[in-house]
Chains A and B, each alone.
Chain A
Amino acid sequence: MNELLSTLVFYAVAVVILATALGVVMSKNLVHSALLMTACFIGVGVLFIWLNADFLGAMEFMLYSGGVAILVVMGVMLTKREAGPPGNPFNGRKLTALGMVILFMLVMCTVVVSTPIPTGGFVSPDTVSDLADMMLNRYILPFEIAATLLLAALLGAIILAKGDGEA
């Protein structure tokens, strides 16, 4: 019963993710794309929780569905060219891209199917404190580097957006 429910949840989430992702790519309106992308991120967040990564699920909600989505919408608004909703056209290589993607999928499917899958699993009772423990002990250096990267990105974004004249 429980397992059936879990399976159903997975498939439901998977359908949501893929559908919204397709929507992002196919939509003719860029704002719609952005909104669908937010929905897709929410789906991914749910998937994380389903995978017992509750902290990551929360992060996904906050950072991607919140922060990134807002940034992207801001980008859309700031770069609007003419009146009316911003378009989201394809370039001239739609079919080429499709071919590549299908090839890619073929290869990936082969990889997934032909690789022996290890059994077993790991579920942490308390992901938050475990992650915190690792982050501040063993992975302190990557943590600090990530912090530096964020700072650099912040400054870079500001300088880029300000432009030459005002810098």
Chain B
Amino acid sequence: MFYEFALEHAWLIPLLPAIAFVIIGMITRAYGKLSALIAVCMSTISFLLSAGVTYAVVNNGITVEMPFVQKLSWMHIGSVDISMGVLIDPLTAMMLIVVSTVSLLVQIYSCGYMKGDPGYGRFFSFLSLFAASMLGLVLAVNFLQMYVFWELVGLCSYLLIGFYYYKISAREAAKKAFMTTRVGDFGLLLGILLLQINFGTLDFMALKEIIPAHIMSAGTGLMTIIALLIFVGPIGKSGQFPLHVWLPDAMEGPTPVSALIHAATMVVAGVYLVGRAFFMFNELPTVMNVIAWVGGFTAFFAASIAFTQTAIKRILAYSTISQLGYMMLALGVGSLTASFFHLMTHAFFKALLFLCAGAVMHAMADEANIFKMGGLRKKMPITFATMSIGVLAIAGIPPFAGFFSKDEILVAAASVSTPLYLLGTLTAFMTAFYMARLLFVTFFGRPASEEAFEHAHEVSWFMLVPLIVLGALAVVSGLWGHVCGFGEWVRFGAPHEASIDMVIAVSSTILSLIAFGIAYNIYVAKNWSSDVIAEKCGILYKLSYNKFYIDEIYAALIKVAVDGVAKVFYWIDIYIVDGVINGLANLVGGLSNTLSKAENGQAQHYAGFFVCGVVILVAYSLYYLAVMGGAF
């Protein structure tokens, strides 16, 4: 059967895009269309295999407790035994489906979006490498394998953000993304090393047995440190406060990249890592609290910035950070199901939103400022329709996908902590507002520029088909997940009862609708002037518009720290290091001046020294023979 084959050969899923990367990178890079064909074909096969794996997981009754594991030994170093392999449980299966679907659709979309770009082939090779590393990450059996792919994902993001490497801003953004996530990766690496040192294994299944036992016997002290260190990795990768700064800048990359990496798949690697190691985090209440509050604060914080941004992709970037905060919040309150449910729906509707944004920018000759658009709904009906679906989904209007997943998160949060629940609800309100603002300003009202408006057009079918598919997914994935018992499938511990708490559901829906109404009044009906509101908010508006000056604070901190350290080192360098070096140099110089007097170029002179040396050596050995009795 196909699904059995897919399950047994799950390692092919990341391998095929990797092969595409090698083929495109080494051979067909110059032939754009062929490269795209190869990439899409490989992605399609790996999508089909993912689907097969998912079917097999359902059909064979593979659960979180009894995953399907294939391992082979990778290397032995002393007593350290490292293996590579595939670990398949419902968590993995869901991630495989999401990642392969989104990356396949994004690749198809890119066929149209990147048309005419000189780096067409290169783009597809990077996309393939990205898909390969993300799929490999999802399939990892141990922390080390995950770390390897984790870094590969980081590399891909560097390559793709800096895709337009001739643009200084793109280069800077790529560097910033790489460096910022590196800070997080360092913590992750430390945590992994501590795990290896303390438990002698990095295997998820083995650690699942060891860690609860360890906590029972030795308390939570050590594990809390390890878990916090590991959590630093997701903070960096999933753009949590305070390491979120790279994500908005990452929008310098081509829009499909933003959709693929910085919205739907790569950034959820951090969420996935926490989910995969949930057996560890779940035992540590302190760490869970930290995760929940970091997530909640990030969600609110990013939403408040998204309020005032004007660049379409930046708004979406901050909304991504905000939604990732939601997922972390859900993990922190102990609901793996809610988090991963939201991960899945978010992947679909956020990819949809980004691709729509890409279509809009494509149509508007790469204009990014939403206030220079307007009235596009007549010119781009399909894009408008799909974008509306995305906005409704993210705002949590039933029956779109976001409603169900967000509702589950809020239910989970409400059951643990009221402040977190309120924070989540407030964020939901803000999300609805800024997304409505985005939609209204872009598609309603008067065109800001007649010329650009005339030029605008609906995009090609290559780009529309993924939009439609994602739109459909954004509508049904939530309802489907709700009805089909996502909570019984992807879960940790006992199956999750997926029921809707009417109070929470209705209140958040009403809040969202109110937000829509406010946005409509401000931006479409123009009953209230946005300038006046901005004026009245004064300092708050300024803070939000300037992203709370986080970048500036970092720059200043780095300036103080780095410059201070540099000054100290400069002093040490000049007075101590150079002093020593100069002293040594003078010493050697003086010595060699003295010695060079002996080097007068006369062979007889040298022969004399030679004889002296021989005499001394012989005398020395004689002395030894006499004193030591022949023992050298």
Q: How far is the CA of A111 from the CA of B611 in the complex (A)?
A: 16
Chain B contacts with A in 225-271, Cβ cutoff 8 A: none
Residue B555 at the chain A interface, CB threshold 8 Å: no
Q: Quick check: B615 and A107 within 8 Å, CB to CB?
A: yes
Chain A contacts with B in 58-112, Cβ cutoff 8 A: 91, 93, 96-97, 100, 103-104, 107, 110-111
Q: How far is the CA of A111 from the CA of B625 in the complex (A)?
A: 10
Q: How far is the CA of A33 from the CA of B625 in the complex (A)?
A: 40
Residue of A nearest to B611 (CB): A100
- Residue in contact with A107 in the complex, picked from B604, B605, B608, B622, CB distance below 8 Å: B622
Q: How far is the CA of A111 from the CA of B624 in the complex (A)?
A: 12
Q: Quick check: B625 and A100 within 8 Å, CB to CB?
A: no
By a CB distance below 8 angstroms, the chain B residues around A96 are 608
By a CB distance below 8 angstroms, the chain A residues around B533 are none
Q: Quick check: A107 and B612 within 8 Å, CB to CB?
A: no
With contact pairs A91-B604, A93-B608, A96-B608 given, residues A103 and B615 touching in the complex (Cβ less than 8 Å): yes
Residue A114 at the chain B interface, CB threshold 8 Å: yes
Shortest distance between the CB of A99 and any CB in chain B (Å):
10
- Chain B 595-619, CB-CB to A under 8 Å as 1, else 0, gives 0000000001100100110010011
Q: How far is the CA of A79 from the CA of B604 in the complex (A)?
A: 20
Q: How far is the CA of A111 from the CA of B608 in the complex (A)?
A: 21
Q: How far is the CA of A97 from the CA of B608 in the complex (A)?
A: 7
By a CB distance below 8 angstroms, the chain A residues around B611 are 100, 104
Residue of B nearest to A100 (CB): B611
Residue B626 at the chain A interface, CB threshold 8 Å: yes
- Residue in contact with B604 in the complex, picked from A93, A110, A114, CB distance below 8 Å: A93
With contact pairs A100-B615, A103-B615, A104-B615 given, residues A110 and B622 touching in the complex (Cβ less than 8 Å): yes
* Residue among B612, B615, B625 with most chain A CB within 10 A: B615
By a CB distance below 8 angstroms, the chain A residues around B622 are 107, 110-111, 114
Shortest distance between the CB of B607 and any CB in chain A (Å):
10
By a CB distance below 8 angstroms, the chain B residues around A111 are 618, 622
Q: How far is the CA of A1 from the CA of B626 in the complex (A)?
A: 39
Chain A: interface secondary structure? helix
By a CB distance below 8 angstroms, the chain A residues around B626 are 114
Chain B: interface secondary structure? helix
Q: How far is the CA of A110 from the CA of B612 in the complex (A)?
A: 16
By a CB distance below 8 angstroms, the chain B residues around A93 are 604-605, 608
By a CB distance below 8 angstroms, the chain B residues around A110 are 622
- Chain B 540-570, CB-CB to A under 8 Å as 1, else 0, gives 0000000000000000000000000000000
By a CB distance below 8 angstroms, the chain B residues around A104 are 611, 615
Shortest distance between the CB of B620 and any CB in chain A (Å):
10
Shortest distance between the CB of A42 and any CB in chain B (Å):
27
By a CB distance below 8 angstroms, the chain A residues around B608 are 93, 96-97, 100
Q: Quick check: B618 and A100 within 8 Å, CB to CB?
A: no
Q: Quick check: A100 and B604 within 8 Å, CB to CB?
A: no
By a CB distance below 8 angstroms, the chain B residues around A107 are 615, 618-619, 622
By a CB distance below 8 angstroms, the chain B residues around A91 are 604
By a CB distance below 8 angstroms, the chain A residues around B625 are 114
Q: Quick check: B619 and A100 within 8 Å, CB to CB?
A: no
By a CB distance below 8 angstroms, the chain A residues around B619 are 107
Q: How far is the CA of A94 from the CA of B495 in the complex (A)?
A: 105
Residue of A nearest to B614 (CB): A104
By a CB distance below 8 angstroms, the chain B residues around A114 are 622, 625-626
By a CB distance below 8 angstroms, the chain B residues around A97 are 608
Q: How far is the CA of A164 from the CA of B615 in the complex (A)?
A: 41
By a CB distance below 8 angstroms, the chain B residues around A103 are 612, 615
- Chain A 38-74, CB-CB to B under 8 Å as 1, else 0, gives 0000000000000000000000000000000000000
Shortest distance between the CB of B608 and any CB in chain A (Å):
6
By a CB distance below 8 angstroms, the chain B residues around A100 are 608, 611-612, 615
Shortest distance between the CB of B615 and any CB in chain A (Å):
5
Shortest distance between the CB of B604 and any CB in chain A (Å):
7
Q: How far is the CA of A111 from the CA of B626 in the complex (A)?
A: 11
Shortest distance between the CB of B623 and any CB in chain A (Å):
10
Q: How far is the CA of A93 from the CA of B612 in the complex (A)?
A: 14
Q: How far is the CA of A90 from the CA of B615 in the complex (A)?
A: 23
Residue of B nearest to A104 (CB): B615
Residue of A nearest to B626 (CB): A114
Q: How far is the CA of A97 from the CA of B611 in the complex (A)?
A: 10
Shortest distance between the CB of B599 and any CB in chain A (Å):
16
Q: How far is the CA of A91 from the CA of B603 in the complex (A)?
A: 12
Q: How far is the CA of A91 from the CA of B602 in the complex (A)?
A: 11
Q: How far is the CA of A27 from the CA of B618 in the complex (A)?
A: 31
Q: How far is the CA of A103 from the CA of B612 in the complex (A)?
A: 9
Q: How far is the CA of A132 from the CA of B604 in the complex (A)?
A: 39
Shortest distance between the CB of B318 and any CB in chain A (Å):
82
By a CB distance below 8 angstroms, the chain A residues around B618 are 107, 111
Q: How far is the CA of A96 from the CA of B619 in the complex (A)?
A: 19
Q: How far is the CA of A107 from the CA of B618 in the complex (A)?
A: 7
Shortest distance between the CB of A74 and any CB in chain B (Å):
22
Residue of B nearest to A101 (CB): B611
Q: How far is the CA of A88 from the CA of B519 in the complex (A)?
A: 115
Q: How far is the CA of A104 from the CA of B622 in the complex (A)?
A: 13
By a CB distance below 8 angstroms, the chain A residues around B605 are 93
- Chain A 100-132, CB-CB to B under 8 Å as 1, else 0, gives 100110010011001000000000000000000
Residue of A nearest to B621 (CB): A111
Q: How far is the CA of A96 from the CA of B612 in the complex (A)?
A: 11
Q: How far is the CA of A103 from the CA of B531 in the complex (A)?
A: 104
Shortest distance between the CB of A117 and any CB in chain B (Å):
15
Q: How far is the CA of A21 from the CA of B154 in the complex (A)?
A: 84
Q: How far is the CA of A50 from the CA of B65 in the complex (A)?
A: 101
Q: How far is the CA of A97 from the CA of B615 in the complex (A)?
A: 13
- Chain B 339-350, CB-CB to A under 8 Å as 1, else 0, gives 000000000000
Q: How far is the CA of A66 from the CA of B611 in the complex (A)?
A: 30
Shortest distance between the CB of B201 and any CB in chain A (Å):
61
By a CB distance below 8 angstroms, the chain A residues around B612 are 100, 103
Chain B contacts with A in 336-374, Cβ cutoff 8 A: none
Shortest distance between the CB of B379 and any CB in chain A (Å):
89
Q: How far is the CA of A82 from the CA of B40 in the complex (A)?
A: 96
Q: How far is the CA of A96 from the CA of B609 in the complex (A)?
A: 11
Q: How far is the CA of A111 from the CA of B614 in the complex (A)?
A: 13
Shortest distance between the CB of B601 and any CB in chain A (Å):
14
Shortest distance between the CB of A97 and any CB in chain B (Å):
7
Residue of A nearest to B608 (CB): A100
Shortest distance between the CB of A111 and any CB in chain B (Å):
6
Q: How far is the CA of A43 from the CA of B615 in the complex (A)?
A: 28
By a CB distance below 8 angstroms, the chain A residues around B615 are 100, 103-104, 107
Query: Told that A93-B604, A93-B605 touch, could you supply 13 new A-B pairs with CB distance under 8 A?
Result: A91-B604, A93-B608, A96-B608, A100-B611, A100-B612, A100-B615, A103-B612, A103-B615, A104-B611, A107-B619, A107-B622, A110-B622, A111-B618
Question: Could you give 24 example pairs across A and B, Cβ below 8 Å?
Answer: A91-B604, A93-B604, A93-B605, A93-B608, A96-B608, A97-B608, A100-B608, A100-B611, A100-B612, A100-B615, A103-B612, A103-B615, A104-B611, A104-B615, A107-B615, A107-B618, A107-B619, A107-B622, A110-B622, A111-B618, A111-B622, A114-B622, A114-B625, A114-B626
Nearest 8 A/B pairs, CB to CB = A107-B618, A107-B619, A103-B615, A107-B615, A100-B611, A104-B615, A110-B622, A100-B608
